[in-house]
Structure 1
Amino acid sequence: MAPETRAMQADDTANPGMLWVQDGAELFARAPSPGAPACAGCHTEASLQGVTARYPAWDAATGRPVDIEGRIDLCRTRYQGTTPLAREGRDLLALTAYLGHLSRGSAIAPPDDARLAPARAEGRRLFTTPMGQLGFSCAACHDENRGRRLGAATIPQGHPTGYPLYRLEWQDLGSLERRFRNCLTGMRAEPFTPGSAEAVALTLYLMQRAAPLAVETPAVRP
């Protein structure tokens, strides 16, 4: 990251992602429909500090791991009596940015839960397996060639510390799934279905791989 990009991320008055954080705070405090409880009716800001650093996590009712977006939608359907939010839609990005901002500075620490082990192993397999017509793997770039150049860009280690983040290339806030979609498309591979088991498994592995780095949401990237 250039010094200018780092400075933009560090200054909340200059970080474009803070616009989504503000929207998320309003959604958190507002009931999604008449008669339904608001998120703030069950949760306080203090109770949610660090929560993003602990996802994906196991959901006992469905018997599967869920990412933070999935947890928000389960809360909506179970406790607020309303419909899930669209993946990559403005409202879900805003709520996840708000929760991520509450967790900013917390060390990433996915749960030490044996039930997550199969999904974590699947995420590692997806990260290291060549995919698509070009036969690239995530590890080929982010492990084997980190720090080198791909065109004009430096190849990062691929740690998901700042999602959802504002990418200057997008001129928009985007989720980690959007980054997956961009990478897979570039590899000429079939993108994951939003919210799929594959996407959650890869997210779980990447969060474990990034521990104990700190949450940076909303990060700014080139």
Structure 2
Amino acid sequence: MKFKAMTAIAALVISTPFMASADADDDQLVVNGEIEMITKAPAPAHLADALDEVISGWHMRSDETQEMQADDFDNPAMIFVEQAQDDWNTVMGTKDKSCASCHDNVEDSMAGVRTVYPKWNDAKETVYTMEMQINDCLTDGMGADAWKKSGAKMARMEALISVQSRGMPMNVAIDGPAEATWEQGKDLYYSRTGQLDLSCASCHEENYGNRIRSDHLSQGHINGFPVYRLKNSKLTTPHGRFKGCVRDTRAETYKPGSAEFIALELYVASRGNGLSVEAPSVRN
């Protein structure tokens, strides 16, 4: 399955390898001086033919950007986490409930949740992303309107929930009923698309660590999402980033929340199994 090509023609330049100085072996991400992050880990078994090691995008960033993520006081994403905490406690919808009405304290009830998403939902008989689960809680549990997929409210709520799992390793299941969706995502990951004839793997598997335009390519893991991007001063969700990446190949992209991006999210999340949840991370 391929993305539909547009007619625009553009050039892509991938230059010689460059790694930020923070890629030294003795560097480690420790948030607030106490939350130790696993930023390098043996590649999951399903990547054995492609990678020996999975590496967090944190290692590809400048010292200054790394330092922002290491301290919540300096991390610009944390203002959105604070806003989401207000959302968590706000009564919404016809059932006069807030998130806290059912889940009580977010620190306790959401600990570990981020590590397993996306995951198979038995009741719905499909793979569910965190966005889908949040919207189910809003509409079914609270009688409120669903939030825009990958919108600002959704991104900050994902960030709040993800914070409760920081430091815990990603452990997304890809077997059983989720396997077919995972295979679809894998197919998308390796499918070349657009006028530049690139796949996700072209950049994030074959050229990670190299300079692309003015940035440095990571392995493309999403354990740090939602991510605060300095270039646009806001939180970005996985589907928001997928949309941008596909457009960078000069192709017509799918929409956030589409079946294609759900499958791609499951596959990409599984590539980062073993790395710590870092969200909300800071990237260029």
Match of 2:161 among 89, 99, 116: 99
Measure the CA separation in 2 of the matches of 1:32 and 1:111: 32
Q: Please show how residues 56-205 of structure 1 align to structure 2 within 5 Å.
A: 56-111=118-173, 113-205=175-267
Measure the CA separation in 2 of the matches of 1:54 and 1:211: 9
Structure 2 residue 110 is matched with structure 1 residue 48: yes
Instruction: Tell whether the 8 Å contact from 2:94 to 2:142 is kept in structure 1 after alignment.
Output: no
Structure 2 residue 69 is matched with structure 1 residue 15: no
Using the TM superposition, give the Cα deviation of residue 90 of structure 1 relative to its aligned residue in structure 2, in angstroms: 2.1
| Aligned equivalent of 1:6 | 66
Using the TM superposition, give the Cα deviation of residue 12 of structure 1 relative to its aligned residue in structure 2, in angstroms: 0.6
What are the Cα deviations for residues 184-210 of structure 1, in whole angstroms up to 9, with x where unaligned? 111011211120111111110111110
What SS does the corresponding residue of 2:247 show, helix, strand or coil? helix
What SS does the corresponding residue of 1:198 show, helix, strand or coil? helix
Using the TM superposition, give the Cα deviation of residue 96 of structure 1 relative to its aligned residue in structure 2, in angstroms: 0.7
Measure the CA separation in 2 of the matches of 1:60 and 1:42: 20
What SS does the corresponding residue of 2:265 show, helix, strand or coil? helix
Using the TM superposition, give the Cα deviation of residue 113 of structure 1 relative to its aligned residue in structure 2, in angstroms: 4.6
What SS does the corresponding residue of 1:71 show, helix, strand or coil? helix
- Quickly say closer, same or farther: Cα 1:190–1:170, change in 2 above 3 A: same
Measure the CA separation in 1 of the matches of 2:194 and 2:225: 25
Match of 1:24 among 71, 84, 89: 84
Greater strand content? 2
What are the Cα deviations for residues 101-142 of structure 1, in whole angstroms up to 9, with x where unaligned? 111111101135511000111111100010112210000110
What are the Cα deviations for residues 60-118 of structure 1, in whole angstroms up to 9, with x where unaligned? 33321111011100111111112210123221111111001111111101135511000
Structure 2 residue 99 is matched with structure 1 residue 39: yes
Match of 1:207 among 269, 273, 283: 269
Measure the CA separation in 2 of the matches of 1:200 and 1:112: 13
Aligned-CA RMSD value:
1.3
Measure the CA separation in 1 of the matches of 2:164 and 2:228: 17
Structure 2, unpaired ranges of 5+: 1-60
Q: How many residues align?
A: 222
Measure the CA separation in 1 of the matches of 2:95 and 2:251: 45
Task: Compare CA radii of gyration and give the structure with the larger one.
Answer: 2
Measure the CA separation in 1 of the matches of 2:160 and 2:116: 15
Using the TM superposition, give the Cα deviation of residue 47 of structure 1 relative to its aligned residue in structure 2, in angstroms: 2.1
Structure 1, unpaired ranges of 5+: none
What SS does the corresponding residue of 2:143 show, helix, strand or coil? coil
Measure the CA separation in 1 of the matches of 2:65 and 2:241: 18
- Quickly say closer, same or farther: Cα 1:205–1:112, change in 2 above 3 A: closer
Using the TM superposition, give the Cα deviation of residue 215 of structure 1 relative to its aligned residue in structure 2, in angstroms: 0.5
Aligned-pair identity in percent equals 35
Using the TM superposition, give the Cα deviation of residue 152 of structure 1 relative to its aligned residue in structure 2, in angstroms: 2.4
Instruction: Tell whether the 8 Å contact from 2:171 to 2:270 is kept in structure 1 after alignment.
Output: yes
Measure the CA separation in 1 of the matches of 2:144 and 2:235: 25
Using the TM superposition, give the Cα deviation of residue 30 of structure 1 relative to its aligned residue in structure 2, in angstroms: 1.4
Instruction: Tell whether the 8 Å contact from 2:85 to 2:160 is kept in structure 1 after alignment.
Output: yes
